[in-house]
Amino acid sequence: MNTVDIAAVISAAEPEMQVRIFRLLGKNSSAEVFSYLDSDTQETVINSITNVEVHNLVEDMFIDDAVDFLEEVPANVVTRVLAQTSRETREIINRFLSYPEDSAGSIMTVEMAAFQKETSVDNAIAELRKTANDKESIETIYITDSERHLVGVVTLRKLIVSPPDTLLEDIMVNEDQVISVATHDDREAVAQIVRKYDLLSVPVVDTENRLVGIITIDDIIDVIQEENTEDFEKMALLLPSEDDYLKTGVLKLTKNRIVWLLILMISATFTGQIITGFEDKLQMIAGLTACIPMLMDTGGNAGNQVSTLIIRGLALGTVRPRDYLRVLWKEIRVAVLCGIILSVVNFARMAAIRAITGSMTPTPVILVVCISMIFAVIIAKCIGCTLPIIAKLIGLDPALMAGPMITTIVDALTLLIYFGIASLFLQSGILVPA
């Protein structure tokens, strides 16, 4: 069975069985299986094995997996684990735990294949043969000078096709062509670099260009999925949470949701005041109130469509703030087209309802609704493309400017347009109170 599947079986077992199955694993695979367990199971296992077993386990794990594990378990477990760890490993782990969350440093590993540039190809291969099993990735080999400055890279495939007595510095890709990242770079930026250049791993250097670790592509895939999940959550105005939904408690879920629900509910005071200000006229003209939800929803949906496209474009780098005027011009044209189509269909819809139900909605009311619709869609599309770009420019996350936020703003503007046009029709005598 594959280690990932073994880990899944253990995670799904009853607590007392988890440790028993884990102990059946050979020394070689136990560290790898452990790194795939969920953090609750990791805690159960650690609490049930001896100090010597803890020591062996942690020393056998890759540093990045050990750090991931320690970041998730309670402090008393961390203390016990670190106490059973060799001084050298403990120092590395502590350094890693000190890197900011979401930084390149927090997801890198130190188990890379690195050689000094004067090493010969056959010496490098001989060394790799001895140590390959302790390396997380040997597909790319990093070349340093005597002071650990990163000076080049050689792929494993290049290494095995090169003459044995060549020096690594003669076959390496030089420093100026090597893509590297810094320990404090944002992990999302690192993921974009790995994706852009189709890398299997990327070297991490400190401020003096000394090689301190590598980030491998399997961790990058997890970063990409987590960042996407975070964007989905922010767009639905949830506070981001790293826990699986099913494992999150009711109080935590409530906390993650209530903040924005409250803010938007209080913001709706504006729409309430707008309606209150127009209430006497609404009471005079039958049919005007009934169209409020349809107009607001259509505006909100139209704004939501464009804000989603722009937020995604900004995240993937296909739209940049300096494209704003092009975006706005495009959106205005799309909005005019969409608005006219919606408006024509709506006229037919309202006329049909009048015919079927025999209701008294006068034609001027239908006209007010249709004209308001066109303007509402134009305003919604403009707001929908403008707010994410403004957010990006002032350093906020554009994902916050998604559906719910756009809807709240567009609602108020839609009502102002609707009542404004109705007032004009009233003043000019086209619309006559019942």
Binders of a copy of itself among 318-337, rule CB under 8 A?
318-319, 323, 326-327, 330, 333-334, 337
Among 13, 167, 275, 400, binds a copy of itself (CB under 8 A): 275
Binding mask 109-128 for a copy of itself (x = CB under 8 A): ----------------x--x
Instruction: Name the phi and psi angles at 116, rounded to 5.
Output: -75, 155
* Using rule CB under 8 A, residue 363 touches a copy of itself: no
Both ends of the chain: CA-CA distance in Å?
78
Runs of H (alpha helix) within 73-212: 75-83, 87-97, 104-107, 121-131, 156-161, 168-171, 187-197
Q: Identify which of residues 49 and 340 has a Cβ nearer to a copy of itself in the complex.
A: 340
As measured in angstroms, the least distance from the Cβ of 300 to a copy of itself is 7
Q: Identify which of residues 77 and 113 has a Cβ nearer to a copy of itself in the complex.
A: 113
Residues 332-361 interacting with a copy of itself (rule: CB under 8 A)? 333-334, 337-338, 341-342, 345-346, 349, 353, 357, 359
Residues 374-433 interacting with a copy of itself (rule: CB under 8 A)? 403-404, 407-408, 411, 415
Q: Identify which of residues 85 and 386 has a Cβ nearer to a copy of itself in the complex.
A: 386
Helix (H) or strand (E) segment spanning residue 140: strand 137-144
* Using rule CB under 8 A, residue 29 touches a copy of itself: no
Q: Identify which of residues 213 and 404 has a Cβ nearer to a copy of itself in the complex.
A: 404
Q: Identify which of residues 158 and 184 has a Cβ nearer to a copy of itself in the complex.
A: 158
Bridge partner residues of 141 (DSSP): 154
Residues 206-225 interacting with a copy of itself (rule: CB under 8 A)? 217-218, 220-222, 224-225
Q: Exposed, middle or buried, 217 (CB in 10 Å: 0-12/13-18/19+)? A: middle
SS3 content of the chain, % helix, strand, coil (to 5): 70, 10, 20
What would the DSSP string read from start to end of 141-165?
A: EEEE-TT-BEEEEEEHHHHHHS-TT
* Using rule CB under 8 A, residue 291 touches a copy of itself: yes
Runs of H (alpha helix) within 162-291: 168-171, 187-197, 217-235, 250-267, 269-284
* Using rule CB under 8 A, residue 76 touches a copy of itself: no
Distances (CA, A) of 95 to 63, 90, 92: 11, 9, 5
* Using rule CB under 8 A, residue 203 touches a copy of itself: no
* Using rule CB under 8 A, residue 19 touches a copy of itself: no
